[in-house]
Amino acid sequence: MTRDWHASTPEDCAAALGADTTNGLSADEVARRLAADGPNQLRGKPPKRFVERFLTQLREPLIYILLGSGVVALALQEWVDASVIFLVVLINAVVGAVQEARAHSAIAALARQVSALAGVLRNGERLRVESAELVAGDIVLLEAGDRVPADLRLLRVRDLVVDEAMLTGESLPVGKSSMAVVQDAALVDRHCMAYAGTLALQGTATGLVVATGSRTELGRIAALIDAAPLIATPLTRRLAAFSNLMLWIILALAGLTFAVGLLRGESVQDMLMAAVALAVGAIPEGLPAALTITLAIGVGRMARRAAVIRRLPAVEALGSVTVICSDKTGTLTQNRMTVTELLVGGFGYTLHGAAGDEDGEIRPAGAAPTDNRALQPLLLAGVLCNDAQMRREAGQLVFSGDPTEWALLLAALRGGLDADTLRLRYPRLDELPFDARYQYMVTLNAGPDGHRMWAKGAMERVLAHCRYALDAHGTPVALNASAVHAAADEMAARGMRVLAFAYHTGGAAPLMRDALGDDWVFLGLQGMVDPPRGEAEQAVARCKAAGIRVVMITGDHAVTAAGIAGALGIGAATPRVVTGRELAALDADALRAVAGEVSVFARVEPEQKLRLVEALQARGDVVAMTGDGVNDAPALRQADIGVAMGRGGTDVAKESSDMVLTDDNFASIEAAVEEGRGVYDNLLKFIVWTLPTNFAEGVIILVAVLAGVTLPITPLQLSLIHI
């Protein structure tokens, strides 16, 4: 059944599936639905048997000539000649069949993204069952740490936060709720849904299974991967066209040789061997070996530059790339949320230092005072109203928890505060965890001056409870909400995620959201970004200088994408951003036009990434596509060269790619392209050298027949020379 589950109420969804949200399905009903819909497993097309793949490798024009020559040699009982010819064909076909087998491993990797066990409610009992046994209408009990086993319409939610990066490309975890959303909401905005393969980071929820197996979002992506063909590289496409031309030329010359010999009175057997000798001489049997050796050398050189090649032709394809479509998070950026700006006491401050590095400092911006007494309370709020943990291992800071909360702890550290000491000094007494419906978190902490409540969250929600603001002298004054809104808008326009902080003196457990009041003191704003990699800007500039266009395709917000693209020099100084919703409305012609003009695409879904790659290829571009999530896999397969991330990439992305970056760095792509161009140049030099040599051998046979003299060389001798 297909419907917009995210736009329907929980009651309507349960009614449509005949589900009992109190007791769950009965065992008999589960068995009936399992028999009708099949297990909750992903299935691709059955892989070809080795024999089928082997026979596919024989469907090449030059192979036809070699096979024909071998058959003629067998008919003439030239056993050694025939054996050598067939051996060359056999080696080439086996190597090709083995390489083709890798395409089917992506579906198997995708199936592993779904957890093995799931908590369900059946016959009024809580059970743990194999995820393959789930059916539409089952009631799933989701907890922190669980991998979502099927597509769920959330019925009841308590502080659930889900990491959907592998599916949507969203760089931050997503808070969930049970409230329906608009019908045309993008996948990343369907907060009432939890999709198979994603990971619950915190909280709990009860969900209704609405899709299993191939009907899930993961299943839809699996179908896209399964349907995507293995793209031939530019050189192999040119060689295929050249091979067709050579086929007719060689057949014509062989036929001419045979006919002339017969007219001169030569025997049919001698002329057949002459025709075979000409065909074997003209065909560059050594070309596949030379290609393999040259590409293998390129593989070794690229590995030393953090690029591991999974498919040999990809080396050559890199040398022909005209467009690099790059994901944002972790490839162009450091994949580490970092606080870079503060608004406190009415003044702005900037934080300096490498992402994840405790060495850094807070500097005044403009006329901001160096001694701002509101600064420490703002940083303190970021520590106390925070569930992340920070520790040192081997001299390095290690964080656990929400990446946004990591950034707050690091900002406090750069401001001279020690989180562990502060948490002991201000013990937490109670809390209201972050909830997507309310978009804020509140803690109640004891302290030397008594109890105090601390809040952090979306600016609009926190300001709604504030009447005062702390000024630079540490004194509460009347809140200027419009000034705060203006400052927050400026920070958001630069691609930042903005969090507001406030405190209230007093408070007692248990905390109640409807009893928080509206006389809180606003402390300030913290703006954070996933900063660009320092080397990425230089790599983008070098790509431009080499005639390669860089395109950013991300599942993140448009404003964030525009800010990072502008900082890296992708597109114009103020790049135009096209969203997935806008892409969905474009036909094929309009999409090709947009793909050629726009360099930044945001909130893009898996099939839209695939469409963008196809549109660029339709324009004649040779496309490299980077990615790390399941959502990237179809586009990675479709691209001329798919590039997966080695550190943060999913197994699905790696299995769908041609190349894996061991350092997840865009600069390594640029380095690999440089190496690929060197390999491409070497291959062309070899082809230019070997083809005249082979044709000269064929011409020698033809001249000998025309002159009526004994053949100067036999097919076996020619094959041995080529080997």
Helix 234-263 and helix 61-75, axial crossing angle in degrees, nearest 10: 30
SS3 for 177-226 is CCCCCCCCCCHHHCCCEECCCCEEEEEEEEEEEEECHHHCHHHHHHHHHH
Q: Check whether the bond before 606 is cis (ω within 30° of 0).
A: no
Is the separation of the CB atoms in 416 and 360 below 8 Å? no
Reference 502, options 459, 471, 456; nearest CA is 456
77 is written with which tokens?
């009982």
Q: How many CB atoms lie within 10 A of CB 514?
A: 5
Q: How far apart are CA 82 and CA 73, in angstroms?
A: 5
The H helix count followed by the E strand count for the chain is 26, 27
Catalytic residues: 327
H or E element, residue 238: helix 234-263
Q: Contact at 8 Å (CB) between 552 and 332?
A: yes
* Angle subtended at Cα 159 by Cα 155 and Cα 160, rounded to the nearest 5 degrees: 65
β pairing state of 623-627 and 641-645: parallel
In angstroms, the CA 328 to CA 324 distance is 12
Nearest to 635 by CA among 619, 657, 665: 657
- Report yes or no: 451 and 507 within 8 Å, Cβ to Cβ: yes
- Give whole-number Cα distances, 635 to 260, 643, 703, in Å: 54, 10, 52
Task: State the Cα–Cα distance between residues 444 and 682, nearest whole angstrom.
Answer: 68
Pairwise CA distance, residues 255 & 639, whole Å: 41
SS3 content of the chain, % helix, strand, coil (to 5): 45, 20, 30
Single-letter amino acid code for the residue at 542: R
Asked if residues 466 and 425 have their Cβ atoms less than 8 Å apart, the reply is no
